Amino acid sequence: MLLYASTFTKALGRLSAAEQKQVKIATVDLALDPTGNGLQLHRVEASPGFWTARVSQDIRLVLHKDGERTLIAYVGHHDDAYRWAERRRLVPHERTGAMQFVEVVEAISVGSQSGAGMHAGGSGLPTARGRGRFASLSDDQLLDIGVPRDWLAAVRAIDEAGVDRLFASLPDEAAEALLDFATGGRLEDHIAMRPAAGADPFVHPDAQRRFRIVDGIEELKAALDAPFAEWAVFLHPAQRALVTRSWSGPVRVSGSAGTGKTIVALHRAVHLARYPEAKVLLTTFSPLLADALREKVDLLSAAEPSLRARIVIHSLDAAAAELYAGAFGPPRLASRGDLVAAIAAARSLGHGRDLAEVFLLEEWEEVVDAWQVADAEGYASVPRIGRKTRLGPRQREAAWSVFDFVREWLNREGLVTPSRVYGRLAAWLRSGGRLPYTHIVVDEAQDLSVAAARFLAEAGGGRPDALFFAGDLGQRIFHLPFSWARLGIDIRGRASVLKICYRTSHQIRSMADRLLAPVITDQDGIEDERRGTVSVFDGPEPAVALFESEAAEIAAVAAFLRAGAEIGIAPAEQVVLVRGDSQRARAEAAIRTAGAPVSIVAMHDAKGLEYRSVAVMALDEDALPDPQRLTEVGDIADLEAIQETERHLLYVAATRARDRLMLSGLAPGSEFLDDIVGQ
């Protein structure tokens, strides 16, 4: 039996492209012959069970062999590979039964009674006796969450400065529990599952997040083709439970940016595709994000082509247009310019003259068209959640005269809006229309429109496992809030929040979280609890800098980009984000100065993307919130909703960064920066 570990895929990603190619060839050879014949195996004398296999003159695979089982544990240059192997043991935890890598180093004096001791080397964990953050925890409490026995004394001695570096040295399940406890969580919530008698330590849920059994050469090749995408093969137990469970109705998975919501959606789609006669639609709001999902599903299902054929990936608008074309013919979509012209024409005829055109357009998009209001009576009763402007009966009557004109104009011109597309499809389903999909998985679901949600409710029809949503209320930037339950998507009892952040460093996540409330409640009263979220890796502190001139900001951002390149970050892994076209010239100047071919992306378009290094530029007082949006508000009372979405937009921008983040602008800067630096 051949297995490989997450430590191997991480190490592989740190090698050069040429070195990775050599490793892949050797690894496939090993899969074909797990005995390792022909790879010049050498025993690592200091670590029982560990061997090295020669890949090239300088590159070595680290293997662990136990009878018929061979584990690919690590890869690196010769000295690094031997040093890694000599400092580790592979053993099942004495209490949880989960197989773990345990780092073994010289004995230390921290009051341990076990004889052997551990420390974190360069991790910053303690090597001497002291009153630490976890000093009050007993042996049993620490063992229950997966802390190796030899680490008990060292963990008790960890001070506040060392808490954030737990993931560098401890098994993930132990580090997660301790970080949650350090930030106010309950250790009892993390007690690991006890093994059944004779259970394989590699199949324990905690072990499966770091070890994967190779199920054929094709699966191994697929994983090796994208070693940076560890999500493709290693799942947290909480994620795995959401993926594989049978649900009685619609499900929503939420969590802070980087907690693996998209990972869960991808695995859920592949899992559902295994059902007999399944046809899964995996969808999101953006064609760009749909393309990204397609690439990842191709990777995830590369070893199982039959599953890939059962998964259709489209943006939701594209999927709806395809369905509409099949049922009614290709839709002719009205542009925003068409709607502006229609409203202006209505006002020129005397309709709604006391109401601003900007207000009427917003009211049409967010209320009338969104809810597919058909008459004055419906408009009088439609919920106007998020629309702060109050309308009296006479104002509603005046507004409706405009909207009635727009509806008739669209009908005469043979035009439909996206909301009308969804509304007509929902009616088609109610009258017996049949979808070509058995299951629908929606990523970035927080940005669903009312009409799209209503269509999905009809598509799910209340069937078990039919609808699966992943999203974050804190990243809602396109639509006003509304009640899902009112539309037929009742997720009460089936809403889960992920708490482990894999994509963004602790420092970046902690800073970005200051922009949002610790608990966000949706219109149905369901809470997304953001407290207790932990990141699995550390990084440099984000930089927040305000400048007196554009030239000074450009120079500073250029230096930030050059520094990223100097530490090996590729141009494709860096990005400059701006609020809109008005700030683009400044970003272009910074990139020219840096001499790095880095992309410029608008904040809205960065949704769902990720980069190792991110510079968010031009966060000026008159840039974020966007002054144009503020001046277009139909009533002063609507400012609150605009402020909220603009705040969410900065949160989205900041959390695109994995390792390095710089926020910059001209003094005094965006008001939202005060929330970041003032805490």
| pLDDT band for position 124 (cuts 50, 70, 90) | very low
- Give the mean model confidence (pLDDT) for residues 662-674: 95
Report the alpha-carbon distance of residue 269 to residue 249 in Å, rounded.
Answer: 16
Q: What phi and psi, each to the nearest 5 degrees, are found at residue 639?
A: -60, -35
Q: For residue 115, what is the DSSP state?
A: S
Decide which of 391 and 243 is more confident.
243
- Give the mean model confidence (pLDDT) for residues 204-215: 85
| pLDDT band for position 106 (cuts 50, 70, 90) | very low
Query: What is the model's pLDDT at position 529?
Result: 79
Q: Express each pLDDT in 510-546 by its tens digit.
A: 899 899 888 888 888 888 877 778 887 788 999 999 9
Decide which of 122 and 64 is more confident.
64
**CB distance 110 to 129 below 8 Å:** yes
Task: Give the C-alpha distances (Å, rounded to integers) separating 451 from 32, 407, 448, 455, 482.
Answer: 53, 16, 8, 6, 11
pTM over 0.75: yes
| Token duo for residue 144 | 């229950």
Q: Express each pLDDT in 129-171 by its tens digit.
A: 446 889 999 999 999 999 999 899 989 988 877 777 777 788 9
- Give the mean model confidence (pLDDT) for residues 371-375: 92
Decide which of 661 and 14 is more confident.
661
- Of the candidates 669, 654, 661, the one whose C-alpha atom is nearest the C-alpha of residue 547 is 669
Number of C-beta neighbours around residue 189 at 10 A: 12
Q: What phi and psi, each to the nearest 5 degrees, are found at residue 98?
A: -80, 135
Among 33-37, 224-228, 347-351, 505-509, the range with the most confident prediction by mean pLDDT is 347-351
* pLDDT, averaged across the chain: 87
Range scoring the smallest mean pLDDT among 53-67, 454-468, 478-492, 558-572: 478-492
